[in-house]
Amino acid sequence: MNQHALSNDPAAIISADKAHVWHHLVQHKPFETVDPRIMVEGKGLRVWDITGREHLDAVSGAVWTVNVGYGRKRIADAMAAQLTKLNFYAGAAGNIPAAQFAEMLTAKMPGLDRVYYANSGSEANEKAFKMVRQIAHKHHGGRKYKILYRERDYHGTTIANLSAGGQEERNAQYGPFTPGFIMVPHCLEYRRQDGLTDADYGRRAAVAIEEVILREGPDTVGALCLEPITAGGGIITPPQGYWDRVQEICKKYDILLHIDEVVCGLGRTGTWFGYQHYGVQPDIVTMAKGVASGYAAISCCVTTNAVFEQFKDDTDHLSYFRDISTFGGCTAGPTAAIENMAIIEEEGLLENSTTMGAHLLSNLHALMDKHAVIGDVRGQGLFAGAELVTNRGTKDPLNEKQVGAIVADCMGQGVIIGATNRSVPGFNNTLLFAPALIATKDDIDEITGAVDKALTRVLG
């Protein structure tokens, strides 16, 4: 089609979308009678759809990505200049922004030194899994190949990532899965496992991981992959003592600790990375989403030099890391990431995430005092959840349809919030909040005010 023949008429755009676009995570049957939502413009925390309606985005692009907000001309201009000079060269060679951002990034991550570029969180986690498997073959006779993952955690959409996915409804209908991925129990204190007390829950939840290691055989386990704060599984903040014991266990059994920061990284929780709240020293950290705030596709698998050095033995022609990510060679990603990180520093967005996050949690606790349907509030920085129940005593979860109605009511008010959906059977009952790190007190008040009205209207 001639570019000049493309129409910007809203009706034509909607028609083209309905006829040709396959949307993510959406049942398309309703589009036979209703129009899909099409976003056109964004500025700060606000987005406008094709009808001209304004929305306050409380989930940073619906999937916790636009950390520095919409409309950052500075990032777009830097990308344009770089793409005009050099847009791409395969990652077997280097480029200037990739080298510069790797230096900036590792400076924020003491103890981690090497950055492998890719283009999505799923792909970054795949790289980590491949590293673990290759190390097993190179140094452990192929035995130390198993990768542990946690119930309720999520690591991506590929078959290997789903094999490491702790959300049953995300995995349904996509098996059989890759062997060698073993699940360990969740650490949600609000729904602690039978027989475990509040006082000792954090340590005991970590010991449950050790029990799985001993069952499988420590000499067969190569890595433990965890989110620092479980995201889509319900915003699960780790209980006190959990991470200290997890790290002790990994060191005891010579298990690589792989922390998935795809959601929590780049300031979302008030530190550069979520793991930095807990005094943990990981071996591998993966990230995407907020690395460039959605201005370009980029992900990173960051490792210690100790991990990197295991691939430098050239006695075997197959010993190096034989992997490629085509668009890991695109210069737009690290260029955008450089500006994104500079904005976070220059505008004090880590501090704002901490301050406004505390205000968000305070408002949610106030809603909890008013609405008995809120059973638990949890979060860190501008990353929070409110779990909805039908009865606080029994903690019976509110059904997903009613949770969806609350989200829809907020949307009707012009505020976009999130919720766990089709992830954990019977427990898709947590409202999710992750506004851009530039959020103000007024923004937070508008978000929680919409939730207040929605809870009253939907549930009475």
Residue 413 is given by DSSP the state T
CATH assignment of the domain containing 173: 3.40.640.10
Whether the predicted pLDDT of 407 surpasses 90:
yes
- Condensed to tens digits (0 to 9), the pLDDT of residues 84-102 reads 999 999 999 999 999 999 9
Among 316, 346, 376, residue at a domain's last position: 346
Whole-structure pTM value: 0.97
Q: Is 90 exceeded by the pLDDT of residue 249?
A: yes
Q: Do residues 232 and 279 share a domain?
A: yes
Tens-place pLDDT, residues 355-388? 999 999 999 999 999 999 999 999 999 999 999 9
Flag whether pLDDT at 1 surpasses 70.
no
Whether residue 405 sits in one domain with residue 295: no
- Find, among 248, 253, 251, the residue nearest to 221 by Cα: 253
Q: What pLDDT is attached to residue 22? A: 96
Domain span at residue 120?
A: 75-346
Whether omega for the bond prior to residue 176 falls within 30 degrees of 0, making it cis, is: yes
**pLDDT value at position 197?**
74
Sheet of strand 46-49: strand arrangement: 39-43, 46-49, 54-57, 415-416
Tokens of 256: 């690589």
Pairing of strands 181-184, 146-150: parallel
CA 61 to chain centre: 12
- Identify whether residues 243 and 371 lie together within a single domain: no
| Same-domain status, 338 and 353 | no
Give yes or no for a contact between 135 and 273, defined as CB atoms under 8 angstroms apart: no
Residue 2 inside a domain? The answer is no
* C-alpha 320 chain-centroid distance: 29
Verify that 408 and 421 share a domain, yes or no: yes
Looking at 289, 314, 346, the residue that finishes a domain is: 346
Is the alpha carbon torsion for 195, 197, 201, 204 positive or negative? negative
Look at residue 299 and tell me if it is in a domain.
yes
Based on the fold, state whether residues 98 and 43 are members of the same structural domain. no
- Other beta carbons within 10 angstroms of residue 139's beta carbon come to 12
Residue 6 pLDDT: 86
Which pLDDT belongs to residue 4?
56
The answer to whether position 298 is within a domain reads yes
Do 392 and 277 lie in a common domain?
no
Cα dihedral 140, 141, 142, 143 sign? negative
79 and 60 within one domain: no
Place of tokens 């959840």: 385
Residue 314 domain flag: yes
Q: Does residue 31 fall inside a structural domain?
A: no
Residue 3: band (very low, low, confident or very high) from pLDDT cuts 50, 70, 90: low
Phi, psi of 43 (to 5 degrees): -150, 120
Asked if the structure places residue 243 within a domain, the reply is: yes
pLDDT higher than threshold 80 for residue 195:
no
Q: Give the pLDDT band (50/70/90) at residue 118.
A: very high
pLDDT in tens, 292-334: 999 999 999 999 999 999 999 888 899 999 999 999 999 999 9
**Does position 341 have pLDDT exceeding 60, yes or no?**
yes
Q: Which of 299, 322, 346 is the last residue of a domain?
A: 346
Q: Look at residue 2 in the predicted model and tell me its pLDDT.
A: 55
110 and 203 assigned to the same domain: yes
CATH of the domain at 426: 3.90.1150.10
Is 32 part of any domain?
no
pLDDT, residue 316, reads: 87
Residues 111 and 222 in one domain: yes
Asked if residue 76 lies in contact with residue 296, where contact means CB atoms within 8 angstroms, the answer is: no
Looking at residues 33-46, what average pLDDT do you find? 96
**Do 339 and 429 have their domain in common?**
no
CA 36, CA 433: separation in Å to the nearest integer? Answer: 23
- The amino acid occupying position 369 is D
Is residue 350 scored above 60 in pLDDT?
yes
Q: What CA–CA distance (Å, rounded) separates 90 from 324?
A: 9
C-alpha dihedral sign at 65, 25, 331, 41: negative
Residue 47 pLDDT: 98
Please provide the average confidence, as pLDDT, over all residues in the chain: 96
Question: Is residue 11 assigned to a domain?
Answer: no
Tens digits of per-residue pLDDT, 209-246?
999 999 999 999 999 999 999 999 999 999 999 999 99
Burial class (CB in 10 A: 0-12, 13-18, 19+), 292: buried
- Give the pLDDT band of residue 348 (cuts 50, 70, 90): very high
Nearest C-alpha neighbor of 294 from the set 102, 72, 78, 58: 72
| Pair (281, 214) in one structural domain | yes
Domain count, the chain: 2
Q: Among residues of the chain, what percentage have pLDDT more than 90?
A: 95
Q: Work out the end-to-end distance of the chain between its first and last CA atoms, rounded to an integer number of angstroms.
A: 53
Q: How far apart are CA 382 and CA 361, in angstroms?
A: 9
